[in-house]
């Protein structure tokens, strides 16, 4: 792999990966809506109700770096396709677990979906592999627009499949998730990114030299805080809404609006980053995440959940895409796998703690405690950007 750019191929890859993102995102949306509710039914205590989602995040965190290294050897396309097949198997194991009412088996299926998520987190980076610096923010944003379709498909799928295989609630949903993962495997076969030359595979700076750059530290930190806040609140929401007397349909609508807010801005986030800089857009994202917590703390009506989750999605989009764009400026093409692998390991390691904490906070201290936890996390993100600004490294 050289530093040569090919925007024609980059555009094609971005479109293919946007479709793949839509399919992957549909499974994730269904996972978000159903995992906490299934956990409430199968877990030995309410404390572990969000453990299935945590298992998926653990699967992601523990395989993010290995997946990146594997793709360096077998290529982006083969790596993406293999992980999608693992996701399909995970969904099918989830179906069996629901029929057997096995919490442990359901955790295994969720873990394997995490492997699928580990690979999908590189779709945005893959779109930038062949893109010129000018097109790179747009390529990343284009991939993220696939989440708009995911928000619509995922929630509608849950609503129409929740009792499809009654009396086993959600079994039909998990069958549908397996079918979608299988389709994604076929779509990913159209990814066109050359493998790195095996003779120069070990070249590039040591990982520690890449990771100690101030811009890398801030980019990774923004990803950790933006994604961690989103996972913390989003994971707790269906459980909290159920506890407040709302239905699965109610929480599905809220998650749909949240998911749309996560991805609709991607149509213009890249342009905003090009115009104002990734750091400024990330700062706006952190402010929106704080406003999301404020909205949720103002009451437990449907409107509070809806507005809070919409703001949460908007904040995640600006913070996460901003951090991703910053990260792509910190490494050379030959260093991409290890740099991206460490970044996503840190992000999903944070998400593991956030998702596990969500269940504990809701069960132990209540919904408000989840939202109060947003403030210190957002403060960390702001402090990182201020630190970069004081070093004179904030882009124009």
Indicate the domain borders of the chain.
Answer: 7-390
- For residue 393, what pLDDT is reported? 66
- For residue 1, what pLDDT is reported? 40
Residue 255, both tokens: 């998650």
CA separation for the pair 302, 289 (Å, rounded): 19
Number of Cβ within 10 Å of residue 199's Cβ equals 7
What tens-digit pLDDT sequence spans the chain (396 residues)?
444 677 788 888 889 999 999 999 899 888 878 887 788 788 787 777 778 888 888 898 888 888 888 888 888 899 999 999 999 999 999 999 999 999 999 999 999 999 998 898 888 778 877 777 778 777 877 887 787 888 788 878 888 888 888 888 889 999 999 999 999 999 999 988 877 655 555 567 888 888 889 999 999 999 999 999 999 998 888 888 888 888 878 888 888 888 889 888 877 888 888 888 888 999 999 999 999 999 999 998 899 999 999 999 999 999 988 988 889 888 887 787 788 888 888 988 888 888 878 877 887 788 899 999 999 999 999 999 999 888 776 654
For residue 250, give the nearest of 239, 260, 241, 240 by alpha carbon: 241
Q: What is the DSSP code (8-state) at residue 366?
A: -
φ/ψ bin of 101: left (φ > 0), alpha (ψ from -120 to 50), beta (otherwise): left
Contact present, 352 and 57 (Cβ < 8 Å): yes
- For residue 190, what pLDDT is reported? 93
Look at the block and give the residue holding tokens 């629901």: 98
- For residue 197, what pLDDT is reported? 59
* Superfamily (CATH) of domain 7-390: MFS general substrate transporter like domains (1.20.1250.20)
Residue 277, both tokens: 């800089």
CA separation for the pair 393, 389 (Å, rounded): 6
- For residue 396, what pLDDT is reported? 45
Angle between helix 248-263 and 7-42 (nearest 10): 160
What are the Cα distances from residue 20, in Å, to 122, 180, 187, 370? 11, 10, 7, 32
User: The dihedral of CA 50, 257, 18, 351: what is its sign?
Assistant: negative
Residue 35, both tokens: 């995992």
Regarding pTM above 0.85, the answer is no
CA separation for the pair 55, 51 (Å, rounded): 6
Number of Cβ within 10 Å of residue 366's Cβ equals 15
What are the Cα distances from residue 91, in Å, to 140, 158, 236? 27, 14, 22
Query: What are the start-end ranges of the H helices in 165-277?
Result: 171-187, 207-211, 214-243, 248-263, 266-276
């Amino acid at each position: 792999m050289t530093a040569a750019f090919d925007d024609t191929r980059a555009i094609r890859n971005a479109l293919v990966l946007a479709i793949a993102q839509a399919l992957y995102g549909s499974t994730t949306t269904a996972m978000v809506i159903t995992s906490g509710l299934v956990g409430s039914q199968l877990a030995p205590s309410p404390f572990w109700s969000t453990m299935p989602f945590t298992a998926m995040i653990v699967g992601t965190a523990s395989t993010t770096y290995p997946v990146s290294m594997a793709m360096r050897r077998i290529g982006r396309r083969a790596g993406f396709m293999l992980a999608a097949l693992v996701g399909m198997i995970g969904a099918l194991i989830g179906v069996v677990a629901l029929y057997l009412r096995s919490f442990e088996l359901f955790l295994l299926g969720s873990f394997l979906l995490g492997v699928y998520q580990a690979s999908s987190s590189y779709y945005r980076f893959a779109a930038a592999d062949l893109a010129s610096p000018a097109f790179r923010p747009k390529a990343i944003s284009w991939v993220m627009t696939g989440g708009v379709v995911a928000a619509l498909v995922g929630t509608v799928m849950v609503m129409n499949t929740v009792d499809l295989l009654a009396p086993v609630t959600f079994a039909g949903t998990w069958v549908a998730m397996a079918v979608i993962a299988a389709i994604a495997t076929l779509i990913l076969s159209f990814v066109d990114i050359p493998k790195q030359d095996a003779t120069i595979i070990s070249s590039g700076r040591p990982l520690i030299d890449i990771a100690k750059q101030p811009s890398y530290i801030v980019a990774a930190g923004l990803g950790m805080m933006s994604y961690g806040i989103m996972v913390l609140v989003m994971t707790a929401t269906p459980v909290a809404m159920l506890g407040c007397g709302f239905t699965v349909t109610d929480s599905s609508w809220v998650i749909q609006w949240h998911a749309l807010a996560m991805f609709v801005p991607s149509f213009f986030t890249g342009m905003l980053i090009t115009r104002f800089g990734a750091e400024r857009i990330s700062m706006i994202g952190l402010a929106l995440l704080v406003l999301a917590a404020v909205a949720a703390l103002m009451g437990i009506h449907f409107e509070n959940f809806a507005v809070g989750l919409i703001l949460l999605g908007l904040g995640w989009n600006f913070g996460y895409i901003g951090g991703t764009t910053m990260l792509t400026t910190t490494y050379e093409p030959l260093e991409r796998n290890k740099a991206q692998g460490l970044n996503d390991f840190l992000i999903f390691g944070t998400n593991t703690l956030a998702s596990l904490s969500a269940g504990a906070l809701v069960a132990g201290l209540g919904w408000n405690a989840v939202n109060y936890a947003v403030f210190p996390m957002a403060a960390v993100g702001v402090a990182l950007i201020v630190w970069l600004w004081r070093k004179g490294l904030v882009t124009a």
